[in-house]
Structure 1
Amino acid sequence: MKAFGAYNNEISSITEFEKDLPMLRAHDLLIQVDAISVNPVDTKVRQGIQEGLDSPKILGYDGYGRVVKTGTETHLFNIGDLVYWAGDVTREGSNSEFQAVDERIVGNAPSKLSVEKAVAMPLTSLTAYELIFEKLAVSTEEVDAGKTILIINGAGGVGSIAIQLARKIAGLKVIATASSPDSIAWVKKMGADYVINHHEDLPKQLASLGLDSVDYILILNAVNQHIDAATRLIAPQGKIANIVEPGRPINLDRLAHKSASFSFEWMFTKAVSQTADIESQHRILDQISAWLDEGIIESTFTQNVGELTAKNLQKAHQIIEDGHSIGKLVLVNRKN
């Protein structure tokens, strides 16, 4: 099969090569990949390659395609089903003609969306859902409606979905951060009630909105920069969740007397650690599909970079690394 991978940490090392079809594990599906989306994790994994590899590392942590073969212990899908998924960072990714993926982290693809809009959603939707409904323990039944959430970096891939889930599913009052005119407009389009600037004093800006604290906080970028403000702003018994590795110790002392919590979210934990609740990701993706098809939430797809080629993958990685992209970048192998 045709595949695309990186030999080293340079963007220019992404190349096309031939590889045997992957062997299936018991819970695996073999999926013909029709489209992929590029996320910051793709660039981070590539940047983490310490030296030249003998065989390129296949990246790609969003995919859309059709099931062509099933493993010996599969039960959720049939051959021919259209599916979407975010994969497992410890296995070969979606930047290839075919990929083997554990069916328990695969969802039925939305039926009313284009390929581009569908493939943009898995990784960021799983992350946002787990952040809000698992780590923050917000109810999906609007039990927490009216409570406040601050989403730091609202215009990013995860932030764009988190705003929608918090506002449209949970009924929270959403304060999101953005800085440029384009990102501010995007965050408002996603449904944020208020927008503030993460480059400026967050407590002061919240005070101007009549808020001295918030019930929930998501830190989706620069945790070291924002942790001081977050621990000041979180309400007693509030919850903070974060997706960023600090790289150095962070001070959480202020949370103690507030009985407030701080938790990490890594979307790949369930797959990598084979946790008992791994199949929850299948159910989450199916729920996201239903919300998309019903028009309750919308895709964050913004740019089709072109056909899945080494050149276009290099282009997508460069756009991500330049740090100015809004929404999701997609590459398409074939239309369905």
Structure 2
Amino acid sequence: MALPFPVEDVIATYLRAIDAEADGLIEGLYLEGSVALGDFRPRTSDIDFVAVTAASPQGAALAALERVHARLRYRWPRPFFDGVYLTWDDLRAGPASVGSRLHSHEGRLHTDAGPVSPVTWHTIADHGVICRGPAPAVLDLWRDPRALAAWTDDNLDRYWRRLCERACRPLSAWGLAAQSPYGAVWVVTGVARLHYTLATGGITSKDGAGRYALETFPARWHHVINEALRIRRADRARPAPSSLIAGLAEFLPVGFTRDRRSLYATPQARRRDVLAFAEAVIADAHRLHSGGRGGKERNERPSTQE
């Protein structure tokens, strides 16, 4: 597939730099996330990667990667080049056997990474963009739909429900973030993506999750779903205080904002619908999984009522 700007340039810069520093270190490079799922937004998306090495980088190899990521961050401060370094054995073994691995977050390398997600393996297998290395189809990639469904079901509570509980406190960090354009997109499309995975066994993008939600959930939720899609497609919302401040302009009279007008009268009203939608989706997603249908049934409608 043709890579959107500036993804192709960032990848080319990275590969030239690491090959000059440590030729042969990077044996495979695959893109996942929004690029692979056809939903890359140049102002708000990251470039998500999986780099494959023969062994976990240590010593001189690790130092070379640190220099390359520092130069790449200077040359391309945005979008972030974020991802994980795995081995070929890791790809065959799956996330439960991998543990923590070297990873890049917001363009900076970290050696204390948390456990990687089965979503990575399934995205590479089904949608991965090849920048270097053999096609995913010829690799003995780990795949386990039941493990993916179990991880997804757990993540609904371990991450999303906890986040929404924090967002219910108006003066907390997430209470404020939930009133921002970024918060609306993150929560609405985030829980819808997990529902999609439990319902279909597949992986979808933020935009794909919004479209799925419009087709799947009752009309009472369409207002907040359309709001999230509007913000996502405008490509302006970032996880930063400036996004919250700039987002307030969406609630000014129409003459001041033109196409940036929110579908809501106030950020507080939007936040209430965002959190209510998330609670409804989480509950219905748990119902799908507890019924033993996660990752299997593709056509069943959710039980949320209008």
TM-score, length of structure 1 as denominator length: 0.30
Higher relative contact order (CA 8 A, sep 6+): 1
More helix per residue: 2
Q: Per residue, is there more strand in 1 or in 2? A: 1
